[in-house]
């Protein structure tokens, strides 16, 4: 039996006895042992398989550019990241924008605003729509990443990826959603159009916030594995699947307001 056939046999066996993903975990561990991490291979792995929880933060930090590919540089780079985090945090306390009682998600937002020159004149100023997006993502990320420094840097780079790398793609996702839903269930799409609901679906929640606050943590992590590794199109497939899952309920609703409210909740 060849090495590949042995591996395939083991994968099938492990899945049958309930150890799904054992081979995938071993493959990732091999990738992470390289002296210079192969970004392309890590992206490909993340696109194909869910990342094991124990390696997720590390892989995300590498793919988002927080850590360099070279292993020997990781410790020193994280020292720099922690120092920068501490400096920005201290600055916000000095100008009294935050205190020790400020919720961590609010701290992350103020840090981000200060670093990118968007800090308002007063903490009492109303938030902008992009601030609400940031807070939703930060709140979800806080549930996934325990360390405050790691969490802030991942939030920061994740949001930057949405704002920069995916800037031109995100506005196109509602149209792509319609196209894929038409292929999967044209009757359901026709119902949404009859109710004038297509343009009023919670696209901001689905695509700008990447389902933060919408999906349970375990599902959201798997979706964000794909987003971090280079695919925002996964958001369209998830949105379509949500509609198909709740098809009976959605078909029973006869107004855009009711459909939108149901999907938002």
Spatial distance between the Cα atoms of 112 and 98, rounded to a whole number of angstroms: 13
**Residue 259 contacts residue 192 (beta carbons within 8 Å):** yes
pLDDT along the chain (265 residues), means of 10: 46 46 81 92 94 95 97 96 98 95 97 96 93 97 96 98 95 97 97 96 96 93 96 96 96 94 90
Q: Which of 148, 265, 166, 179 is nearest to 224 (CA)?
A: 166
- DSSP for 150-190, please give it: HHHHHHHHHHHIIIIITTTTGGGHHHHHHHHHHHH-HHHHH
d(CA 155, CA 135): 10
Radius of gyration in angstroms for the set of CA atoms belonging to the chain, rounded to a whole number: 21
- Kindly give, in sequence order, each residue whose CB lies less than 8 Å from that of residue 1, ignoring residues fewer than 6 positions away: 9
Terminus-to-terminus CA distance in the chain, angstroms?
Answer: 52
- Long-range CB pairs of 244-248 (<8 Å, 24+ gap) are 244/184, 244/185, 244/188, 247/185, 247/188
Which of 120, 123, 162 is CA-nearest to residue 141? 162
Rounded Cα distance, 19 and 11, in Å: 9
The Cα–Cα gap between 237 and 229 comes to 16
List, in sequence order, every residue forming a beta bridge with 36; answer none if it has no partner.
Answer: 70
Output the CA–CA distances (angstroms, integers) from residue 6 to 10, 29, 202, in the order listed. 6, 19, 46
Q: What is the pTM of this model?
A: 0.89
pLDDT at 21: 53
pLDDT at 185: 96
φ, ψ for residue 215, nearest 5 deg: -105, 150
The answer to whether the beta carbons of residues 221 and 159 sit under 8 Å apart is no
Instruction: Label residue 214 exposed, middle or buried (CB < 10 Å: 0-12, 13-18, 19+).
Output: buried
Q: Return d(Cα 228, Cα 210) in angstroms, integer.
A: 11
Which two three-digit tokens encode residue 213? 């606050």
């Amino acid at each position: 039996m060849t090495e590949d056939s042995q591996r395939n046999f083991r994968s099938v066996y492990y899945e049958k006895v309930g150890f799904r993903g054992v081979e995938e975990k071993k493959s990732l561990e091999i990738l992470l042992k390289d002296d210079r991490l192969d970004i392309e291979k890590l992206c490909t792995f993340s696109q194909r398989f869910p990342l094991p929880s124990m390696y997720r933060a590390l892989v995300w930090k590498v793919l988002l550019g927080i850590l360099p590919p070279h292993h020997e540089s990781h410790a020193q780079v994280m020292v720099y990241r922690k120092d920068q985090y501490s400096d920005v945090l201290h600055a916000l306390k000095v100008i009294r924008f935050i205190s020790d009682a400020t919720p961590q998600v609010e701290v992350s937002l103020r840090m981000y605003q200060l670093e990118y020159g968007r800090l308002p004149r007063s903490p009492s100023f109303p938030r902008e729509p992009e601030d609400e997006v940031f807070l939703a993502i930060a709140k979800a990320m806080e549930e996934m990443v325990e360390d405050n420094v790691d969490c802030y840097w991942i939030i920061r780079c994740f949001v930057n990826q949405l704002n920069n790398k995916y800037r031109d793609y995100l506005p196109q996702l509602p149209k792509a959603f319609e196209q894929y839903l038409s292929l999967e269930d044209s009757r359901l799409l026709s119902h949404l159009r009859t109710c004038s609901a297509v343009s009023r679906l919670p696209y901001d929640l689905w695509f700008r916030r990447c389902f933060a606050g919408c999906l349970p943590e375990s599902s959201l992590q798997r979706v964000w594995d794909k987003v971090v590794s280079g695919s925002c199109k996964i958001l369209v497939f998830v949105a379509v699947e949500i509609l198909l899952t709740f098809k009976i309920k959605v078909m029973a609703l006869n107004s855009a307001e009711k459909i939108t409210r149901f999907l938002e909740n």
